[in-house]
Amino acid sequence: MSKSQIANRKSQEVEVLDAEVGPVALPAFYVSGESLPGQAAERALVPVREPTIDEILAAFRSWMRLDVAQGAASEQTLRAYFADVRQHLVWLAGLGLRPAQAGEEELKEFRAYLVEQYQVSTVGRKLASVRRFYEMAQARGVIGQNPAAGLKTPADRTAREEKVKFLTVEAVRRVLAAPNRNEPKGIRDKAVLVLMALHGLRVIEVSRADLADLDLEAGEAGTLKVLGKGNKERGILLTEETREIVKMWLAVRGLMHSGSPALFLTMHWTDAQREPGQRISTRGLRQMVDGYLLAAGVKREGVSCHALRHSFATLSLAAGANLLAISGALGHSSITTTQVYAKIVDKAAANPAKWLVGLLE
């Protein structure tokens, strides 16, 4: 090869290595013997370095946020995707493989690895994240073929109503009684638990709630505007009891002199700096609720924050509430989604004594 040919080849290689593949650039990680996207095999390059898992995830985040969600991605959804993809990347690294080297067989092995550890529903979510990841890799030209395109989720033959975890009336009563109402934190936590267990709010909806969303004079006992999935708004009707509990928290919140618009705030700040409370995060809410589930003795496999929402729907339906009204309170786009609670109640009706658990001392 002549000197001019060598110089020209180096110039082309530098141009390829410097090129970005989108809003976030993927570092060059092609190795000798591999072809660059769209280039002939004889133009293989020796890598400058291989990308770290964090760099790969940064590119994935950009693609998910801008290309998939058009800038409206939920942080909670993104975190779930990243955790799943990170697990996959770490698993591949344990085999000495990079994502570009993974084929259908490796992905089937990863699926088998997940099946050994998780429930089918969790496996399905993780595989969906991995499929999205390889979609990005193909879209950015990192791989020619998508090895995850035909990766199927294992069949889940468990009826949906069998997977819904809810608490009995007595269990809900114990959870709501767990916070110490003589302490500011306990007053806040009681209000949070009430909105989740007696009004069916999701964790993210509690975190998103602002003071401006609350109107204690509207309706019979006040309303709370809720921003649910897909940024859909709905109005929650409070009861006299729940309004009083929320008012107790508002009195405590007013003493914090916080400039945050959030309805629920963190309770930690230093007296020396007088830093105001900040909006409570979904992670903080989950940790808090899990603590009360443990304290009430009702924490078991599958029972988490969402069990309070399921308990609201199941118990209110069993008590005679209208299914359509429950669907509206939950923010379901279709009443078909809410029908699962009717199946639970119908099944439980075969053993009426089940609804009387907790009456014996």
pLDDT at 252: 93
Which residue is catalytic, options 126, 132, 140, 332? 332
Q: List the structure tokens of 232.
A: 């859909």
Q: How far apart are CA 221 and CA 194, in angstroms?
A: 15
Residue ranges in the chain modelled with pLDDT below 70: 1-49, 68-74, 156, 158, 269-276, 301-302, 354-361
The verdict on whether 229 is a catalytic residue reads yes
152 part of a folded domain: no
pLDDT at 323: 92
The verdict on whether 292 is a catalytic residue reads no
Which residue is catalytic, options 30, 81, 292, 341? 341
79 part of a folded domain: yes
First to last CA, the chain: 91
Number of domains in the chain: 2
345 part of a folded domain: yes
Q: How far apart are CA 342 and CA 153, in angstroms?
A: 28
Domain that holds residue 263: 163-356
157 part of a folded domain: no
pLDDT at 160: 72
The verdict on whether 202 is a catalytic residue reads yes
Q: Which residues face 27 on adjacent strands?
A: none
Q: With left for phi above 0 and alpha for psi between -120 and 50, is residue 27 left, alpha or beta? A: beta
The verdict on whether 268 is a catalytic residue reads no
Are residues 173 and 109 part of one domain? no
Q: How far apart are CA 241 and CA 57, in angstroms?
A: 46
Name the pTM for this structure.
0.63
51 part of a folded domain: yes
Which residue is catalytic, options 132, 202, 243, 253? 202
φ, ψ at 286 (rounded to 5°): -65, -45
Are residues 190 and 337 part of one domain? yes
Tell me the per-residue pLDDT of 211-245, one tens digit each, with 9 for 90 and over.
999 999 988 899 999 988 877 899 999 999 999 99
pLDDT at 33: 41
CATH of the domain at 292: 1.10.443.10
198 part of a folded domain: yes
Contact 60, 136 (CB under 8 A): yes
Q: How far apart are CA 29 and CA 39, in angstroms?
A: 15
pLDDT at 269: 57
Which residue is catalytic, options 134, 309, 310, 347? 309
CATH of the domain at 84: 1.10.150.130
C-alpha radius of gyration, the chain, whole number: 26
Distance (Å) of CA 149 to CA 13, 20, 129, 130: 31, 25, 12, 10
Contact 194, 245 (CB under 8 A): yes
Strands (DSSP E) contained in the chain are: 214-215, 223-227, 233-237
Which residue is catalytic, options 65, 306, 347, 354? 306
Tell me the per-residue pLDDT of 100-128, one tens digit each, with 9 for 90 and over.
888 888 999 999 999 888 888 888 899 99
φ, ψ at 128 (rounded to 5°): -60, -40
Which residue is catalytic, options 229, 232, 247, 347? 229
153 part of a folded domain: no
